[in-house]
């Protein structure tokens, strides 16, 4: 009788733990682009939070993106000093100079001028990392607290820029008050 109770309690405990656990996000396939449910970047495990499609004029597909957040990080904390990764795969060629122009524009719209001025030397170093992309290329932007913001192109490290203030500014291009795309922002944050 005691063994039966222990077995029943063990089963009930396991069921309760299973039901209390947050649902796992599964891998996502968007427009033929695959995003894994979990990545380990800079030795930090991160889970897929959301994916989104960037379009222009509602029908011209530019890119697809995925946001990964460190374990236990809420989407509302995306601009805080927390582990995060943004992966973007492109459907069309884009020049490095176009990335630089867009980066400067979005940063000036999402970061106050004083902060922008203090960040400009690091922004210049970041902009120098950009390369031309062709269809199927994938940029990844990973911030790890205490290490900095790493830019990768097709899995190749382009460089790392230090500072949580820089990470907050650069991620504001997608998640700030005037993001690249409001609908993409909502999709990545899981609010679409």
Domains in the chain (CATH in brackets) are 25-188 (3.50.70.10)
Find the mean pLDDT for residues 148-168.
97
Minimum mean pLDDT range among 58-72, 99-113, 151-165: 58-72
HSE-CB of 3 using CA atoms within 13 angstroms: 0
pLDDT of residue 126: 98
DSSP string, 8-54: HHHHHHHHHHHHHSPPPPPPEEETTEEE-SEEEETTEEEEEEEEEEE
Find the mean pLDDT for residues 91-101.
97
Find the mean pLDDT for residues 145-165.
97
pLDDT of residue 192: 53
Partners of residue 149 on adjacent β-strands: 143, 161
**pLDDT (tens digit per residue) in 160-172:** 999 999 999 999 9
């Amino acid at each position: 009788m005691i063994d039966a109770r222990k077995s029943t309690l063990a089963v009930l405990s396991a069921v309760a733990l299973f039901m209390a656990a947050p649902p796992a996000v599964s891998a996502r396939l968007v427009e033929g682009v695959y995003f894994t449910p979990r990545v380990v970047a800079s030795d930090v495990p991160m889970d897929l939070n959301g994916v989104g499609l960037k379009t222009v004029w509602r029908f011209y597909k530019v890119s697809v993106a995925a946001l990964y957040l460190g374990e236990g990080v809420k989407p509302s904390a995306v601009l805080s000093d927390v582990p995060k990764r943004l992966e973007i795969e492109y459907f069309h060629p884009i020049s490095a100079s176009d990335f630089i122009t867009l980066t400067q524009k979005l940063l000036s719209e999402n970061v106050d001028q004083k902060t922008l001025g203090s960040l400009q030397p690091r922004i210049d170093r970041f902009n120098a990392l950009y390369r031309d992309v062709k269809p199927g290329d994938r940029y990844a932007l990973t911030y790890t607290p205490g290490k900095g913001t790493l830019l990768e192109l097709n899995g190749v490290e382009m460089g790392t820029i230090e500072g949580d203030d820089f990470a907050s500014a650069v991620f504001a291009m997608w998640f700030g008050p005037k993001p690249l795309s409001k609908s993409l922002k909502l999709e990545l944050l899981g609010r679409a």
